[in-house]
Structure 1
Amino acid sequence: MDLIENRTVDEIAIGDRAEIQRVLTQPDVALFATVSADVNPQNLDAGDEEGPELQQSIAHGMWAGTLITAVLATRLPGPGTVHLGQALTFHQPVNVGDSITVRVEVAEVDTATALVILDCLCINAEGVTVVSGRAEVQAPRTKIKRHMARMPTSQLKAPGVRFGALVEQARTLDPLLTAVVHPCDTLSLGGALAARDEGMIVPLLVGPRGKIEAAAEQAGLDLRGLEIVDAPHSHAAADVAVALVHEGRAGALMKGKLHTDELLGAVLDKSKGLRTERRLSHVFALDVPGQNRTLFITDAAINISPDLDSLRDIVQNAIDLAIAIGVEVPLVALLSAVETVTGKLPSTLLAAAICKMHDRGQIVGGKVDGPLAFDNAISPAAVAAKGIVSDVAGYADILVTPNLESGNMIAKQLIHLAGASSAGIALGARVPIMLTSRSDTVDARIVSAALAKVFYHWRRERPLGLPG
């Protein structure tokens, strides 16, 4: 391990130099913004767009200024240095990708007080000075030599980056006529109106008029221009919303303040519901920090312990959704506890059967592999360590869980421990269903609406059933 050693004031002479070189990356910009609370969008756009350069020059130049402090603390004088002051001038913009050489040179030394003044320069790869100034430090009097500390790692991302792109994709399509079922609280009603304001849906509010209007008044929401279809209670609202789909007045459903069972009871009614030959299933879409793609988890909300035929439909629904939003070849991992097939674990047998069904054309689109343990599905390092040969392992887009409990736990862990942003819809009925939790945020409802909208338009000219 590298050693770090300081120079005491008695070892420092005028003209002594030290320098480091760094390249400004987008994560550096995000981390600096997080630490400094500087959320000026001009500073966070990494210089990719035209616009005023002065503010960005200062912000990114300040990043270079922190490197000056790093040189003082680790190189000259090094450990034990007390930083007393620093005056900097920012001359040129520093942009993502710029290689910056940071150099300090001793200008004055007072051995009696241990005061050292250093000239500071930050120079880009073209030799242009981007930052200059002076720093004043108190140099150490005691010699220090120690192993360098391990550099901490961080994972930063702007929240909802991929979801933001999905919403932009959905904005290019016509708004989706949506029956919002029992929106009788501020969150579900506000989410529906926010989705409308984002151009995702045209909401048709179905439920007790008095409760809907009371929720709007409590939240300060304006219902002018919106149609309310009066229904006495949540059960009736679900039935009416399904009828509106049959009448051609709605192309999607959005769950409000009612239990999932109430809504799905109306959807799955054998005589009046919205059944198709495809099994109804739920798909979570997750924007997970540290992942370079949207992850889909299914089924974590509807099918408790699916059999082979149900699992086939669950896989097909998820593949269809991934393709609809632009994943050209979705990679599907059938999850279990191990990557080998064994009669002791029924989930491995189901996974193997699903893979063979895909081979035989009973499931279309994407690539499917399983059984795979969770780490083998998403971690290339785990795949390499175990010597697994697979087109899917390590890079799965879709995680198919063997039962509702495991799927729900995986999704909730990613949301609450990994900071994932989430959205979700149910597929397999005649129309997509925005099946959000009653506690979901407004953003989750907007993204769920974007998923439903994109899928609805993608599917309009495609049959829902499995290939014959």
Structure 2
Amino acid sequence: MSTSHTSMDRAVPLFDGLIARVRSLPPVATAVVWPCEAVALQGALMSLSDGLITPVLIGERTRLAETARQAGLDISGCEIVEASSPEQAAGHAVALAASHRVHALLKGSVHTDVLMTAVLAPGSGLSTQRRMSHVFVLAMPGRDGPLFVTDAAINIAPDLLAKRDIVQNAIDLHHALGFGAPRVALLSAVETVNPRIQGTIDAACLCKMADRGQITGGVLDGPLGMDNAVDADAARIKGIVSPVAGRAQILVAPDLEAGNMLAKNLIYMGKADAAGLVLGARLPIVLTSRADGARARLASTAIAALYVHATATARGVPSPE
């Protein structure tokens, strides 16, 4: 699962602005889980040097030292928690998070399923009433603000209640990053309710749930096709009158396959740059791909840090100082 594209190694004004905002805030204590490859370690150290996080490196000490030596990196000032395996590193990270020693988790070179298994384990202390979900934050060429895509990484075939949480997680992130109340498009293959297409029924229900206050902080519409969600002319031609159609800021996919293909299409063919975050746990989790560059990891870490600062009180955890 990839949260970004290698083109992220160039400067991106949207992400540069977010990173600049984090620099003015106290760094966030962050568990970096098994950063035993050069790019993972470099990303954590870039975030440290930019003042975004205070990393706690969790891994095999000798392996971390050798990785740093080969990459020309200095980890002498970093706290290191010894772990003999990726599984043990994930377990240590969850324990640090549950005790509020750290306020975010950053995936290093550990596999996603290993980290998430530890997070989701009974008794981890990280679960909430909210379903966990992933949000891509995309910087699109020619677009002023971000475009969110969810869920493309966690929930394979979400039911209606899971979709409610997926939508609310994305809305909450939009607010936390300072972008205000978003316009949310609930995507399907068509823009009318069709009983044979479950996604259209779920979209209609989600809109009514928003009307009844079961989803808050955003304006929802759906079902909408991808064309009339993002293109005003397509919406006009199809006669769709909506505050969301043609102007969507969050795109909600009906399932993981659709979301993953949509996000990767925008990244690899639309030349979008991307960062990403898992929300719904007691703290944000930065999932990165081994193919992600250090700058992409920096952008995702900045988004996590902004989320921590914006939501600490609401989540009932101490603010970073």
**How many Å apart are 1:242 and its aligned residue?**
0.5
2:102 aligned with 1:250, yes or no? yes
**What amino acid maps onto 1:236 in structure 2?**
Q
Match of 1:301 among 153, 157, 163: 153
Give matches, 1:180-191, under 5 Å.
Answer: 180-191=32-43
Aligned partners of 2:59 and 2:84 also within 8 Å: yes
2:53 aligned with 1:201, yes or no? yes
User: What is the CA–CA distance in structure 1 between the aligned matches of 2:245 and 2:53, rounded to whole Å?
Assistant: 37
Tell me the TM-score normalized by structure 2.
0.94
Aligned to 1:406: 258
**What amino acid maps onto 2:94 in structure 1?**
V
Post-superposition Cα deviations, 1:241-272, rounded to whole Å, max 9, x if no partner, equal 00011222100000011111100001011112
2:139 aligned with 1:312, yes or no? no
Aligned partners of 2:282 and 2:315 also within 8 Å: no
Aligned partners of 2:128 and 2:281 also within 8 Å: yes
RMSD, aligned CA: 1.1
Aligned to 1:91: none
Give matches, 1:348-427, under 5 Å.
Answer: 348-427=200-279
Aligned to 1:460: 312
Match of 2:138 among 274, 286, 290: 286
Aligned to 1:171: 23
Aligned to 2:293: 441
Match of 1:450 among 296, 302, 308: 302
Aligned to 1:283, what secondary structure does the other structure show? strand
Aligned partners of 2:267 and 2:273 also within 8 Å: yes
Aligned to 1:62: none
User: What is the CA–CA distance in structure 1 between the aligned matches of 2:134 and 2:125, rounded to whole Å?
Assistant: 17
Aligned to 1:264: 116
Post-superposition Cα deviations, 1:397-416, rounded to whole Å, max 9, x if no partner, equal 10000111111111111111
User: What is the CA–CA distance in structure 1 between the aligned matches of 2:163 and 2:31, rounded to whole Å?
Assistant: 28
**How many Å apart are 1:442 and its aligned residue?**
1.1
Aligned to 2:4: none
Aligned to 1:162: 14
**What amino acid maps onto 2:128 in structure 1?**
T
Aligned to 1:214, what secondary structure does the other structure show? helix
Gaps of 5+ in 1: 1-157
User: What is the CA–CA distance in structure 1 between the aligned matches of 2:22 and 2:269, rounded to whole Å?
Assistant: 29
Q: Which structure shows the higher helix fraction? A: 2
Larger Rg: 1
Aligned to 2:80: 228
Post-superposition Cα deviations, 1:175-208, rounded to whole Å, max 9, x if no partner, equal 1100000000001111110111111111000011
User: What is the CA–CA distance in structure 1 between the aligned matches of 2:36 and 2:11, rounded to whole Å?
Assistant: 29
Q: Which structure shows the higher strand fraction? A: 1
User: What is the CA–CA distance in structure 2 between the aligned matches of 1:224 and 1:210, rounded to whole Å?
Assistant: 13
User: What is the CA–CA distance in structure 2 between the aligned matches of 1:198 and 1:386, rounded to whole Å?
Assistant: 48
User: What is the CA–CA distance in structure 2 between the aligned matches of 1:431 and 1:346, rounded to whole Å?
Assistant: 32
User: What is the CA–CA distance in structure 2 between the aligned matches of 1:272 and 1:164, rounded to whole Å?
Assistant: 34
**How many Å apart are 1:273 and its aligned residue?**
4.2
Aligned partners of 1:254 and 1:434 also within 8 Å: yes
- Greater RCO, 1 or 2 (C-alpha within 8 Å, sep 6+): 2
User: What is the CA–CA distance in structure 2 between the aligned matches of 1:174 and 1:463, rounded to whole Å?
Assistant: 18
Amino-acid identity (%) = 52
**What amino acid maps onto 1:367 in structure 2?**
V
Tell me the TM-score normalized by structure 1.
0.64
**How many Å apart are 1:344 and its aligned residue?**
1.2
**What amino acid maps onto 2:290 in structure 1?**
R
User: What is the CA–CA distance in structure 1 between the aligned matches of 2:64 and 2:259, rounded to whole Å?
Assistant: 33
**What amino acid maps onto 1:173 in structure 2?**
L
Aligned partners of 1:159 and 1:421 also within 8 Å: no
**How many Å apart are 1:381 and its aligned residue?**
1.2
With over 3 angstroms needed to count, the CA separation of the structure-2 counterparts of 1:159 and 1:389, relative to structure 1, is farther
Aligned to 1:217: 69
**How many Å apart are 1:159 and its aligned residue?**
4.4
**What amino acid maps onto 1:216 in structure 2?**
A
**What amino acid maps onto 1:326 in structure 2?**
G
Match of 1:344 among 178, 196, 206: 196
Aligned to 2:19, what secondary structure does the other structure show? helix
Q: Which runs of 4+ in 1 moved over 6 A?
A: none
Aligned to 2:129: 277
**How many Å apart are 1:430 and its aligned residue?**
0.6
